[in-house]
Structure 1
């Protein structure tokens, strides 16, 4: 019977063995630009436009918060929609996500915040899988109770499909979030860690439970 926890030695071996292109350090220049843009507690339309240009240089950052920020900045600076509420919402998001120091990752606060510029943030944490999505070759982790499978059974299915059960480390490729958590808008420690990790690494994907194959035959 497979273990109820991923094997750390196996995780390390799988992470070393795979051939995955490492992205350059995109986070440091983005963080520095965000801090500069709000350094005096204000954000002007011209600063927002400059920050959008920087984000546009990284089109592969198509996940929260970069895709959401890029869309909001584009709408505000290109269509003349620069209003006090837009500046306020952007200030809150930038100062929260790109603070000089962190006292815990503030994902729960952001999800609950009233930021009309960005709409409902919670569903934007999740990715849409590609049409050819497969578990094979990927390091996979899970959070929350799945409807019809225990965590042990999830790990066994990852094994059967050619993937590697993983913990929530920088090397993880996919986090599958239970539908129960999604419907309750829950922020588990695993989901929080996944968002925090991919803001800096840019490779991890966050999927709902329904993306994970329903059976080994799939």
Structure 2
């Protein structure tokens, strides 16, 4: 069975965190959807709260600590990424943005991406579309059509029978978005890490200007 790696970026600041809860639901649903397509799913979680100080230092110095670099490598070397942020003042959190600011330019280009967000009220739902989606469009990631927002009241909602015209409950959107991400990931070859020292240019070629 072929394997695909899904990196989960959780921007929650507290423990326990509704942001992490949503991220875990999305990861579980994506792994299940990949298994249905005949792929083994490996899920790796990056908790940004654990790297908050290192992120600040990296933005000031331009150099990532060993722990932060491992987290960055987890994300940029994955076959697909699930990114979930809390919404503060109508947009993603500063910690969430700092992490993606710390990545090398172009490192997420073409990356299949599922975006999600949490907040205390459903009034922040559109922050996914006017703030989070444009961020990853700028990074040239391939973001699935369905974004997933979870307000506080959504985490206890039942999936029961839906009335036509009603907004689907959280778990319905989770399943739909996970299926879209799994479809993108399954359609691509597994990510391979290129060793920059594996095929060096010879000294002769360098002298010749090759």
**TM-score normalised per structure 1:** 0.27
Considering fraction of residues, name the structure with more strand: 2
TM-score, structure 2 as length reference:
0.27
